[in-house]
Amino acid sequence: MSIYQIYDDRFRYLTIGPAALEPLATGLRWAEGPVWFDDMQCLLFSDIPNNRMMRWVPGGGASVYREPSGYTNGHTRDRQGRLISCEHGARRVTRTEWDGSLTVLADSHLGKRLNSPNDVVVQSDGSIWFTDPTYGILSHYEGHQAAPEQATRNVYRLDPETGDLRAAADDFGQPNGLAFSPDESVLYVADSAASHDPAAPRHIRAFDVSAGRLSGGRVFCHVDAGIPDGIRIDVKGNLWTSAGDGVHCFAPDGTRLGKILVPEGVANLCFGGPKRNRLFITATTSLYSVYTATEGCQRP
Ligand code: MG
C-alpha cells in the first residue's frame, strides 16, 4: 500500500512515488524538535519524557546527545548556526554556544514565568519567534507540573541582542509549531488546542509579518486527523505539517495537496540531508525519513 494519499496532482511533483518511509530509530517516548546540522551531517531531536536529546548520524544510527536535556522540545538554529532550544523543564528558551555552554535567552514575560516554550524559529534579521503553550506543565511527564503564571498562551518575538521580549499574538488555545513563508511575509502558527478539547481548534493560522509585528491571523488550513504540531515550509512555499496520521501538505493558497502516511502519530518534522530534500519525521516512539521531490526552505 502506498504511503502517499494524493488529493491534488501537484503533490505528485513534490513526492517520489518509490521513495519509502524509512524507520531510522525507535525506543523513544515522545520524539520532537528535529533540527538538521548540515555542517556536521547529523540530526538532533528531543525525546521529551526521557529528558534527553538524541543525535542521528547517517550510517551511524541514533545516540544520546545531551542528558538531562531540561526536557527540551523544539529546536532551530540562529543566523550564526547556533542551536536554539525550547525547554519545558526550566520553562525557557536557550542558546547552546560553540563551547557547549547554555545562554538563557528568555524565561519570563512581564515578571512572570513562561508556561513551557514549545517550538521556535529564527527570522533572517536574527529575531527569535517561539510559542508558549502549557503542555510542559500540565503533568510531570514532559517536564514539571505547575500552574501557569501567564494569563494567555502567546506567540513571542525575542530580540536576542537587546533581550526585548514581546507577545506578538495572544489569542491562541495552544500555539505550537511555527514557520515563515520563504519571503518571510507570512508567519504560520499551529493551534493544537484540540489535543485536550475536541471542540477546540486543530488548525494553522497565517499572520502577516511587518517590522517585527503580526497582523491578520486568518485560518490557513484545518488538519483532519489528530492535531497540527510542528510545521515546515519548502522552497515553493508549500506547508508541511505534522498530524495524527502522518504528514499533511498544503499549497500556499491553503489547498490540501496530499498526505504521507506514517504508522505513528507525528509531532514534528524538518527537511535535511546534503540536498535538503530529505524529510525527517519525529513520530511518537520513532524517527523516520522519506526523500521528497522538493527541498526545505533555507533562508539566506
Ligand atoms: Mg510542538
**Percentage of the chain surpassing pLDDT 90?**
99
- Tell whether the model's pLDDT for residue 30 goes beyond 90: yes
Is 269 domain-assigned? yes
Amino acid letter, 190: A
Q: Identify the pLDDT of residue 252.
A: 98
Closest CA to 281 of 85, 83, 69, 28: 28
Domain encompassing residue 107: 4-291
| Centre of ligand 1 from the C-alpha of residue 117, in Å | 9
How many Å lie between the centroid of ligand 1 and the Cα of residue 235?
A: 22
- By the 8 A CB rule, do 255 and 279 touch? no
- 268 alpha carbon to ligand 1 midpoint, in Å? 7
Does an H or E element contain 166, and which? strand 165-169
Among residues 168, 138, 170, the alpha carbon closest in space to that of 152 is found at: 170
One-letter amino acid of 271: F
Residue 257 within a domain:
yes
Mean pLDDT value across residues 18-44 = 97
What number of H helices and E strands is found in the chain?
0, 27
Backbone angles phi, psi at 257, to 5 degrees: -95, -40
C-alpha 114/C-alpha 90 separation (Å) is: 9
Does the residue 296 lie in any domain? Answer: no
Task: For residue 167, report the distance from its CA to the centre of ligand 1, in Å.
Answer: 18
**What's the domain count of the chain?**
1
pLDDT of 116 over the 50 cut:
yes
Whether 44 maps to a domain, the answer reads: yes
Instruction: Assess if residue 224 is contained within a domain.
Output: yes
Question: Per-residue pLDDT for 253 more than 60?
Answer: yes
The reply to whether 298 falls in a domain is no
* Helix or strand (DSSP H, E) at 176: strand 175-180
Q: How far is the CA of 3 from the centre of ligand 1 (A)?
A: 23
* pLDDT confidence tier of residue 115, bands split at 50, 70 and 90: very high
Q: Find the 105 Cα to ligand 1 centroid distance in Å.
A: 19
Domain assignment of residue 299, yes or no: no
Sign for the pseudo-dihedral over CA of 129, 133, 137, 143:
negative
Is the pLDDT confidence value at 201 over 70? Answer: yes
Distance 75 CA to ligand 1 centre (A): 10
Residue-level pLDDT at 106: 98
CB contact set of 96 (below 8 Å; sequence gap of 6+): 82, 83, 84, 85, 102
The domain that holds 185 is classified in CATH as 2.120.10.30
Per-residue pLDDT, 300: 46
Question: How many whole angstroms from 133 Cα to the centroid of ligand 1?
Answer: 9
Q: Give the model's confidence band at 1: pLDDT under 50 very low, under 70 low, under 90 confident, else very high.
A: confident
CA of 182 to the centre of ligand 1 (A): 21
Phi, psi of 270 (to 5 degrees): -160, 155
- 298 pLDDT exceeds 90? no
Distance (angstroms) between ligand 1 centre and the Cα of 215 equals 22
The pLDDT score that the predictor gives to residue 299 is 64
Q: Is residue 300 part of a domain?
A: no
Whole-prediction pTM value?
0.98
Section 178-192 average pLDDT: 98
